[in-house]
Chains A and B, each alone.
Chain A
């Protein structure tokens, strides 16, 4: 039963005004600009774009400012915004092989065409807080080297030549691509729908699940075959022209996990892969996504499903942090009537319990306790 309770309007309006004031903070400190957020908190912006499933650094920066840095709230704002826009159409699948690379590393081959390019990484830093960053010290220009002439081949392409790794080939018909934003989830999902859900999934949740596979819950012997970060061209067929044009570029992080596979009756032993592709510079998320993708392929590869990371319904249904926050946070909204009913029930049970104690009989179930069990 729902009962309308009025009287909160003034409190809500004043709370929002207080929020605006707290968000601005000390007025003697300059307000943050969106350029500052997008430029200097770029990885936070990337995370909001990825989990918000909308590539637009300026809007993500605005969402972070509006949410006072609460990134899940910012993701929520971005998701709400995207529902107000018409969808013009679909891009051609981006070609990550033609990426303008900003970072590219492989943990399986030391010397590979295109080289190991560390790029702007936190790796090999000492994780010591840098007091200089508290101020605005001048920063040295990046060193410039000589760009390699050879193309950065994908590691999977190098291994594929010997049949040592499964090949990912497009089927003849590209037209039927799952879209979880248009069609309700129906389990079991195709790998396309799963990857779409994982790409917008919560980084913390996927990270924990990926970690669980490493600790032995669905162990898959993963190697980071290749991680690449950089910009790719987005191409789209314009109906009025009838051919594809590049409409801009987006920065993406791609991870190919290479996993051992002992083979089956049909397939000889070979390496299998898990795949991660995420908006922006988001290496941890892309790696976690690739681990989860591989774990969720258990049924397809004929492996026993024994661990949470392999359970598609469990992983995909709980990976969306906007959905999760909606259900968890709704608990703080008024449940006065629900709770009155519970209170009444507990009182009756206690009365029956006391009566039973008094008569020394506890073996028969009472009406109230049966009701509670339901």
Chain B
């Protein structure tokens, strides 16, 4: 095992993971709001620091993680995740508790992930999409629980056809995936209950 795998975890695993968990909880409760984060973890190249820190906060031996193919082939990333979180990597999207999308420019099929069941809608994948920034992309206007009126967010880049994919995800309610946008310096969330009400980029 390469030494890189041992480096770059939380400096203080309890405070680091609890602090970020609190931020994620607030971000999920207030969809579309942008929450600044400091650099908490230094994962191997390929995984941005915020996405890496989110994985360390939320994952353990009981949560399986699906990684985009480039990441999944990266043994440093797999070993880093194994050492610091103990989380098993799965190749099966539909079995993943968490999924990391490191290359959002590619087409994404949200329906291929675990969507939960009518009885247990919680048994669905939480997607972590690594983006360059939470501003500067096409503006999405969101409505839904936790949003006072409407809110705008413009992550860059977004997967092509995202609006239609999200509408399909919304239509499956209460089933469906929840989503975390992870930029190097901030996070924002879109739970399945949020609706995109405009036509971004049009």
Chain A residue, CB-CB nearest to B79:
A240
A330 on interface, CB distance cutoff 8 Å: no
Give the distance in Å from the alpha carbon of A239 to the alpha carbon of B80 in the complex.
10
A137 on interface, CB distance cutoff 8 Å: no
A88 on interface, CB distance cutoff 8 Å: yes
Q: Which residues of B are found within 8 Å of A240, using beta-carbon distances?
A: 1, 5, 79, 82-83
| Total A residues in contact with B, Cβ cutoff 8 Å | 9
Quick check: A88 and B82 within 8 Å, CB to CB?
A: no
Quick check: B62 and A239 within 8 Å, CB to CB?
A: no
Task: Output the least CB separation between A180 and chain B (Å).
Answer: 14
A86 on interface, CB distance cutoff 8 Å: yes
| Total B residues in contact with A, Cβ cutoff 8 Å | 10
Quick check: A87 and B62 within 8 Å, CB to CB?
A: yes
Q: Which residues of B are found within 8 Å of A361, using beta-carbon distances?
A: none
Q: Which residues of B are found within 8 Å of A86, using beta-carbon distances?
A: 60
B25 on interface, CB distance cutoff 8 Å: no
Given A240-B1, A240-B5, CB of A87 within 8 Å of CB of B60: yes
Within 8 A of B (CB), among A217-243: 239-241
Quick check: B61 and A87 within 8 Å, CB to CB?
A: yes
Within 8 A of B (CB), among A74-96: 86-90
Beta-carbon contacts of A149-187 to B below 8 Å, as 1s and 0s?
Answer: 000000000000000000000000000000000100000
How many inter-chain residue pairs (CB < 8 Å) link A and B?
21
Quick check: A90 and B61 within 8 Å, CB to CB?
A: yes
Beta-carbon contacts of B169-195 to A below 8 Å, as 1s and 0s?
Answer: 000000000000000000000000000
Give the distance in Å from the alpha carbon of A87 to the alpha carbon of B62 in the complex.
8
Q: Which residues of B are found within 8 Å of A182, using beta-carbon distances?
A: 62
Chain A residue, CB-CB nearest to B1:
A240
Beta-carbon contacts of B79-109 to A below 8 Å, as 1s and 0s?
Answer: 1001100101000000000000000000000
Beta-carbon contacts of A89-127 to B below 8 Å, as 1s and 0s?
Answer: 110000000000000000000000000000000000000
Give the distance in Å from the alpha carbon of A88 to the alpha carbon of B60 in the complex.
8
Q: Which residues of A are found within 8 Å of B86, using beta-carbon distances?
A: 88-89, 239
Give the distance in Å from the alpha carbon of A125 to the alpha carbon of B199 in the complex.
84
Task: Output the least CB separation between B118 and chain A (Å).
Answer: 13
Quick check: B60 and A239 within 8 Å, CB to CB?
A: no
Give the distance in Å from the alpha carbon of A158 to the alpha carbon of B83 in the complex.
43
Q: Which residues of A are found within 8 Å of B5, using beta-carbon distances?
A: 240
Q: Which residues of B are found within 8 Å of A89, using beta-carbon distances?
A: 61, 86
Chain B residue, CB-CB nearest to A176:
B95
Within 8 A of B (CB), among A192-251: 239-241
Q: Which residues of B are found within 8 Å of A87, using beta-carbon distances?
A: 60-62
Chain A residue, CB-CB nearest to B87:
A239
Give the distance in Å from the alpha carbon of A89 to the alpha carbon of B1 in the complex.
19
Task: Output the least CB separation between A27 and chain B (Å).
Answer: 39
Quick check: B62 and A88 within 8 Å, CB to CB?
A: no
Q: Which residues of B are found within 8 Å of A88, using beta-carbon distances?
A: 61, 86
Q: Which residues of A are found within 8 Å of B79, using beta-carbon distances?
A: 239-240
Within 8 A of B (CB), among A284-309: none
Chain A residue, CB-CB nearest to B120:
A184
Chain B residue, CB-CB nearest to A241:
B1
Give the distance in Å from the alpha carbon of A182 to the alpha carbon of B5 in the complex.
29
Q: Which residues of A are found within 8 Å of B61, using beta-carbon distances?
A: 87-90
Chain B residue, CB-CB nearest to A87:
B61
Give the distance in Å from the alpha carbon of A241 to the alpha carbon of B83 in the complex.
10
Give the distance in Å from the alpha carbon of A90 to the alpha carbon of B61 in the complex.
8
Q: Which residues of A are found within 8 Å of B82, using beta-carbon distances?
A: 239-240
Beta-carbon contacts of B46-79 to A below 8 Å, as 1s and 0s?
Answer: 0000000000000011100000000000000001
Give the distance in Å from the alpha carbon of A241 to the alpha carbon of B82 in the complex.
10
Chain A residue, CB-CB nearest to B123:
A183
Task: Output the least CB separation between A346 and chain B (Å).
Answer: 40
Give the distance in Å from the alpha carbon of A243 to the alpha carbon of B62 in the complex.
19
Q: A239-B82, A239-B83 are in contact. List 16 more A-B contacts (CB 8 A).
A: A86-B60, A87-B60, A87-B61, A87-B62, A88-B61, A88-B86, A89-B61, A90-B61, A182-B62, A239-B86, A239-B88, A240-B5, A240-B79, A240-B82, A240-B83, A241-B1
A–B complex contacts, Cβ < 8 Å, 9 sampled: A87-B62, A89-B86, A182-B62, A239-B79, A239-B86, A239-B88, A240-B79, A240-B82, A241-B1
For the complex of A and B, list the 8 residue pairs with the smallest distance between their C-beta atoms, beginning with the closest: A239-B82, A89-B61, A240-B83, A87-B61, A240-B1, A89-B86, A239-B86, A88-B61
